[in-house]
Amino acid sequence: MALRINDKAPDFTAATSVGTINFHEWMGDGWAMLFSHPKDFTPVCATELGYVAQLSGEFAKRGCKVIGLSVDRVEDHLKWASDIEDLAGTKLNFPLIADDGLDIAKLYDMLPADDDDTSVGRTAVDNQTVRVVFLIAPDKTIKMNLAYPMSTGRDLSELLRVLDSVQLTANYRVVTPGNWKQGEDVIILPAVDNDEAKELFPEGWDTVKPYLRKVKA
């Protein structure tokens, strides 16, 4: 079954580059971002993992853990980690899940349930749909899933921007406009009428259209 926004993120126990983890227990009470990759030793994915490692402090200050998944074995992950460190200039400082049985890729609807049950003999092209980022809230619900083609590296600044927006809008009755960045004006939820808005935003707002009321974050 396809996973949608606000669905519960499936739990699993799996081997990783730092030992066996239970996903929900590993998350704890915070946020998590899960990056999936079709195969180890692929060039685009290597650069992505390197950038994630470089930005680990940005995720940490937002209270968000990061974890990768690749359709290969732990032994391969550990060898690949050395290449990633060479490329990024920093160690792979987050777990990389081994999915050599394709179990998690299927659990998260990135591969068909009737596909193979082993990564042996499969190429990155066979696993090309395992290119999804899931943002998961503390209540273990999915707040974003974003799929990328193999040819296009992920934009880490965009993923941080989405994280900022989702965390802000989870706590306040606002939404963020197109191209929004942290610190810029936000939009009052249409469901908030003007009487309630006066209580929530006593300093006022700018009414652009009756349904579009901008307010300082």
Report the catalytic residues.
Answer: 45
Instruction: Give the closest residue to 37 by CA, choosing from 111, 87, 89.
Output: 111
Dig out the tokens for 186 from the structure.
């936000």
The DSSP 8-state label assigned to residue 8 in this structure reads B
3-state secondary structure of 183: coil
The answer to whether 34 and 2 have CB atoms below 8 angstroms apart is no
What is the four-CA torsion angle of 83, 87, 89, 94, rounded to 10 degrees?
-60
